[in-house]
Amino acid sequence: MVQKKSLWLRCETKEFEHRSALTPTTAKQLIDQGFDITVERDPQRIFDDEEFEKVGCKLVEHNSWSSAPIETPIIGLKELPPNDTSALPHTHIMFAHCYKQQGGWKDVISRWEAGQPTGMLYDLEFLQDERGRRVAAFGYHAGFAGAAVGTLALAKQVGSEGEKDRLGEIHAYPNEGELIKYVKGQMSVIEQRLGRKPRALVIGALGRCGRGAVDFFKAAGFEDDNIAKWDMAETQKGGPFNEILEADVFVNCIYLTSKIPSFISPESIAAAGDKRQLRVVVDVSCDTTNPNNPIPIYSINTTFDKPTVDVDGITSGPPMTVVSIDHLPTLLPREASDAFSTDLLPSLLTLPQALAERAPRQGTAITASEVGSGPERVWKEAEALFWKVLGEKNAQ
Ligand SMILES: NC(=O)c1ccc[n+]([C@@H]2O[C@H](COP(=O)([O-])OP(=O)(O)OC[C@H]3O[C@@H](n4cnc5c(N)ncnc54)[C@H](O)[C@@H]3O)[C@@H](O)[C@H]2O)c1
């Protein structure tokens, strides 16, 4: 069966989200390979609509994807607007945040179940190459931005009377250089108020987010010796870890796969008393509603307009805040989108083949053992995972 090569880039509706799954550059590359690319007008996207039009994309009305031809896959990044339970009969390529039992996961996946036999979710977080590595991820820029927000939150707090002030609304930066320049300007406040150079601890430092966080701290002027870079070896002994309480900023960047001892807990914070240096925790991993979250000291995701939440129950030592923004790379939307979309492109080129194979058996589950080894395997594996999670939901 011949599958039309097409993709529909939907708008993002999540507040402050400026990133895009396709860029004018990757859209042009797809068009050069015979794809029809439809792009919804989107004022919040970092790229102007005209940039897509110029390379040959067809522009359509904002948020109009539900009227797209049923065989056209819809690509976007973040969640669809909340409080909508309507069936999803299209193929969606996106981060749906429903495969790790996050809050509301059953309602989210149920929408594609209701969209059978044509509905399908290919979750971007789970597209993997043959060696099990993610084909595209925003990690690097998430860690980079997270470390930046953490440093800004620290500066704001220590720079204020009684450490009462909190970081206000943050906004996207046009490029990395501008962000680094701005944060560097705040470093003197931190050093002056602490009376020493600041210390950071990054867990998951060997991963994408972790590398970004470490690179940011270095670029902002943290001394290398003052950046503790932890990964599996250092956490093997099991938390909670007092070392975390001795850093000024702690950035968690692990990829959580199972229940592990907490890295930090209300009890470990209380036990440190006024010896605690830790003021800001940046939970880049953001397993906020995951029952296995190893940072059980907060319960909400923070946002660009209110980037920190205070840790409750602090009775001694300085105040402590958590940054738990789940779309950090949007602080640097242009670079983050370019990197992500470029990495995703080779997989997108194999999508029509996967869709053609799926068409005759749509609505029927496949398992991981049936995905084969062709270049379109990445999509078949994502399809098998969709059916597996749907099965888990229905078994509960
Ligand atoms: N907040 C955001 O905006 C945002 C954006 C992108 C990614 N993320 C999240 O960040 C997390 C990390 O993503 P990534 O792409 O960097 O993953 P990754 O797989 O590249 O890196 C994870 C690292 O964590 C380490 N690790 C895992 N368990 C550990 C443990 N118990 N102790 C110490 N180290 C451990 C691994 O060895 C690895 O080096 C994911 O949960 C992802 O969803 C958040």
Is the CB–ligand 1 distance for residue 142 below 6 Å? yes
Pick the residue whose CA is nearest to atom 36 on ligand 1. 204
Pairing of β 309-310 and β 321-323 = antiparallel
**pLDDT for residue 1 is more than 60:** no
Pick the residue whose CA is nearest to atom 43 on ligand 1. 285
Least-confidence region, from 90-94, 255-259, 321-325: 255-259
Give the whole-number percent of the chain exceeding pLDDT 70. 99
Q: What is the pLDDT of residue 101?
A: 84
Q: Convert the pLDDT of each residue in 209-230 to its tens digit.
A: 999 999 999 999 999 999 999 9
Q: What is the pLDDT of residue 175?
A: 87
Mean pLDDT of the chain: 95
Q: What is the pLDDT of residue 360?
A: 95
Query: What's the rounded mean pLDDT across residues 85-91?
Result: 97
Distance CA 10, CA 12 (A): 7
Q: Convert the pLDDT of each residue in 112-126 to its tens digit.
A: 999 999 999 999 999
Asked whether the CA dihedral 81, 254, 190, 247 is positive or negative, the reply is positive
Q: What is the pLDDT of residue 2?
A: 57
Q: Tokens in use for 314?
A: 């602090």
User: Roughly what angle, to the nearest 10 degrees, separates helices 24-32 and 333-349?
Assistant: 20
The full length of the chain comes to 396
**pLDDT for residue 3 is more than 70:** no
283 Cα distance to chain centroid: 11
235 annotated to a ligand binding site: yes
Is the CB–ligand 1 distance for residue 210 below 6 Å? yes
Cβ–Cβ < 8 Å for 242, 268: yes
Cβ–Cβ < 8 Å for 34, 348: no
**pLDDT for residue 358 is more than 90:** yes
Which of the listed residues 209, 260, 286 should we mutate to test ligand 1's pocket, taking the one with most ligand atoms within 8 A of CB? Answer: 209
Tokens 């993610």, located at residue:
134
Is the CB–ligand 1 distance for residue 326 below 6 Å? yes
**pLDDT for residue 344 is more than 80:** yes
**pLDDT for residue 303 is more than 60:** yes
Distance CA 118, CA 251 (A): 41
Q: Tokens in use for 364?
A: 């029927």
Q: What's the chain's Rg over C-alpha atoms?
A: 22
Distance CA 250, CA 294 (A): 13
Q: What is the pLDDT of residue 15?
A: 85
Is the CB–ligand 1 distance for residue 289 below 6 Å? no
Pick the residue whose CA is nearest to atom 28 on ligand 1. 254
Residue 158 amino acid letter: V
249 annotated to a ligand binding site: no
Is the CB–ligand 1 distance for residue 209 below 6 Å? yes
Q: Convert the pLDDT of each residue in 148-187 to its tens digit.
A: 999 999 999 999 999 999 999 999 998 899 999 999 999 9
Pick the residue whose CA is nearest to atom 8 on ligand 1. 285
For residue 19, give Cα distances in angstroms to 14, 152, 305, 332, 366.
Answer: 10, 22, 17, 8, 32
Query: What's the rounded mean pLDDT across residues 8-36?
Result: 96
287 annotated to a ligand binding site: no
Query: What's the rounded mean pLDDT across residues 126-139?
Result: 93
Q: What is the DSSP letter of 296?
A: T
Question: How would DSSP label each residue in 70-107?
Answer: TTSPEE-SSPPPSS------SEEEE----SS--TTHHH
Under the banding of pLDDT at 50, 70 and 90, the label for residue 82 is: confident
Cβ–Cβ < 8 Å for 273, 316: yes
**pLDDT for residue 50 is more than 70:** yes
